Amino acid sequence: MAAERGQDLVSRDQRVAWHPYASPECSPLFAVESAQGVRLRLADGREVVDGMSSWWAAIHGYGQPAIVEAIREQAGRMAHVMFGGLTHEPAVALCEKLVALAPPGLSRVFLSDSGSVAMEIAIKLALQYARAIGRPERSRLLTVRGGYHGDTFGAMAVCDPVTGMHGLFRDALPEHLFAPRPACAYHEACEAHHVEEFARLIREHRDEIAAVVLEPIVQGAGGMWFYAPDYLRAVRALCDECEVLLVADEIATGFGRSGEFFGCDHAGVVPDVMSVGKALTGGAMSLAATLVSDQVCAGLAAGEPGVFMHGPTFMGNPLACAAALASLQLLDESPWRSRVHAIETQLAAELAPCRELPQVADVRALGAIGVVELHEPVDMQVVQPAFVEEGVWIRPFGTLVYTMPPYGIERADLSLVTGAICRVIDRHCRVPA
């Protein structure tokens, strides 16, 4: 009966729903009945260890009582109210908390619904700031290859034009500037030649560039690449030299994922604008935020029209803000740093055997992120069911098989994840000719 119920749900889904990065009829597809801790219970009765934290968001795992209770209690008082001209305790308390946690100097918080929107807001802030200070010619952005910043049009325009999944729309997107992907890996020295082309671009185009946009230290869905903190320090110095804003996309890296609370913390760098999302609510609800410096706030307010031209309908949703406050409190009370360090150590050790496989180009780990990069793209029709048969949920893309588990995952469960990655790659991924 359980298997039939799950198959019925999949059949119904395939008639009416559309899934991310999928054809209208998504396949393969697995029905989930419930989620608790680090496990997803499928409708057919099987359980799988979630190695993805639901796209990096469920950092505490599922069903955390403190977050569930915060949502329940807030729903009894006020599920939603517009944020235009009104305010409420959950939103104000969350903004206060984010300012306290952020790199010093980021003093104002603009709330939104999702990471892509938070990046749209960051880009729009940079462009409006340039106009407000009398520099309307500064209408382009500079970024690095290998980046990913979201699926909306402003965000797509600063994703890698080749690996960023959005090449189909290139002709419809603004043309921005792209420096090479940082070639200095996280544990390597960053030398002058690593930053040479970036420095040339920002200096030659300084009068056109409103902001530099990049993911600090960890490039996410554009390539899962970890680069040296000194590179980020050099970028900050060049932005200061050329009077260009630095926008940090911390949506994937924020809240401890890389081993520091924010990716910028690895380099001791303070951006002018910073976007966060994903893990902000512990994966319980959709919420994001864009944090802004005093300089940007003052410049924008002094120019025309004196207000920021953006306003999401569900901005500052009380339920989501309450969930975020509960999630951040859980982080405060947990030994997240030691847990993430232990995960990194285990991932590095247990994924290392993959280096011997002919399918594998590279293996790397940083914080609670483990990556096996292949020579050839995976066949999702084969690989996704194979992972479920192994009892884990791993969602590869392109040539990348990776895991970002919840921080509280037990060693034995993480070993299930790493063992499955090694076996599935060995048995089901193509060996280059």
Burial of 135 (0-12, 13-18, 19+ CB in 10 A): middle
- Long-range contacts for 147-150 (Cβ within 8 Å, ≥24 apart)? 147/213, 147/214, 147/215, 147/219, 147/222, 147/249, 148/215, 148/219, 148/220, 148/221, 148/222, 148/223, 149/116, 149/119, 149/213, 149/215, 149/249, 150/114, 150/115, 150/116, 150/117, 150/119, 150/120, 150/251
For the stretch 357-381, pLDDT in tens is 999 999 999 999 999 999 999 999 9
What is the mean pLDDT of the segment spanning 89-99? 98
Do residue 235 and residue 316 come from a single domain?
Answer: yes
Distance CA 185, CA 353 (A): 20
User: Is 296 among the domain residues?
Assistant: yes
For the stretch 193-220, pLDDT in tens is 999 999 999 999 999 999 999 999 999 9
Enter the tokens of residue 400: 């990348």
Give the type of residue at 419.
G
Please state whether beta strands 392-393 and 47-50 pair in parallel, antiparallel, or not at all (unpaired). Answer: parallel
How high is the mean pLDDT of the chain? Answer: 96
User: Is 124 among the domain residues?
Assistant: yes
Residue 23 clears pLDDT 70, i.e. is over it: yes
Give the type of residue at 285.
M
Do residue 79 and residue 183 come from a single domain?
Answer: yes
Pick from 1-15, 32-46, 209-223, 324-338: least confident = 1-15
Question: Is 124 one of the catalytic residues?
Answer: no
Residues 248, 222 contacting (CB under 8 angstroms): no
* Cα→Cα distances 414→61, 187, 371, Å: 13, 24, 14
- Three-state SS string over 269-327 comes to CCCCEEEECHHHHCCCCCCEEEEEEHHHHHHHHHCCCCCCCCCCCCCCCHHHHHHHHHH
Do residue 308 and residue 342 come from a single domain?
Answer: no
Question: Is 113 one of the catalytic residues?
Answer: no
Do residue 354 and residue 211 come from a single domain?
Answer: no
**Residues spanned by the domain of 342:** 2-60+335-428
Q: Please give the distance of CA 18 from its chain centroid, rounded to a whole number.
A: 22
Write out the H or E segment, with its range, that includes residue 7: helix 2-16
What SS3 class is residue 86?
Answer: coil
For the stretch 142-152, pLDDT in tens is 999 999 999 99
Which residue, of 312, 333, 354, is where some domain finishes?
Answer: 333
Do residue 290 and residue 339 come from a single domain?
Answer: no
Per-residue model confidence (pLDDT) at position 2? 67
For the stretch 174-188, pLDDT in tens is 899 999 999 999 999
User: Is 29 among the domain residues?
Assistant: yes
In this prediction the pTM is 0.96
Which residue, of 333, 364, 385, is where some domain finishes?
Answer: 333
- Among residues 230, 278, 402, 407, which one is catalytic? 278
What SS3 class is residue 425?
Answer: helix
The enclosing domain of 386 has a CATH number of: 3.90.1150.10
- Among residues 249, 265, 272, 413, which one is catalytic? 249
Per-residue model confidence (pLDDT) at position 1? 65
Residue 164 clears pLDDT 70, i.e. is over it: no
When pLDDT is cut at 50, 70 and 90, the band that residue 5 belongs to is confident
For the stretch 256-280, pLDDT in tens is 999 999 999 999 999 999 999 999 9
Do residue 141 and residue 46 come from a single domain?
Answer: no
Do residue 50 and residue 78 come from a single domain?
Answer: no
Which residue, of 315, 333, 351, is where some domain finishes?
Answer: 333
Q: How many domains does the chain have?
A: 2
For the stretch 388-431, pLDDT in tens is 999 999 999 999 999 999 999 999 999 999 999 999 999 999 99
User: Is 267 among the domain residues?
Assistant: yes
Do residue 14 and residue 79 come from a single domain?
Answer: no
User: Is 127 among the domain residues?
Assistant: yes
User: Is 270 among the domain residues?
Assistant: yes
The enclosing domain of 322 has a CATH number of: 3.40.640.10
User: Is 226 among the domain residues?
Assistant: yes
What SS3 class is residue 147?
Answer: coil
Question: Is 249 one of the catalytic residues?
Answer: yes
Do residue 44 and residue 130 come from a single domain?
Answer: no
Distance CA 74, CA 347 (A): 38
Segments in 106-191 forming alpha helices (H): 115-132, 153-156
Cis ω for the linkage preceding 90 (within 30 of 0): no
User: Is 433 among the domain residues?
Assistant: no
Do residue 103 and residue 250 come from a single domain?
Answer: yes
Do residue 92 and residue 163 come from a single domain?
Answer: yes
Residues 89, 280 contacting (CB under 8 angstroms): no
Of 187, 274, 184, the residue nearest 234 (C-alpha): 184
Do residue 199 and residue 209 come from a single domain?
Answer: yes
Residue 173 clears pLDDT 90, i.e. is over it: no
Residues 372, 360 contacting (CB under 8 angstroms): yes
- Among residues 62, 129, 148, 231, which one is catalytic? 148
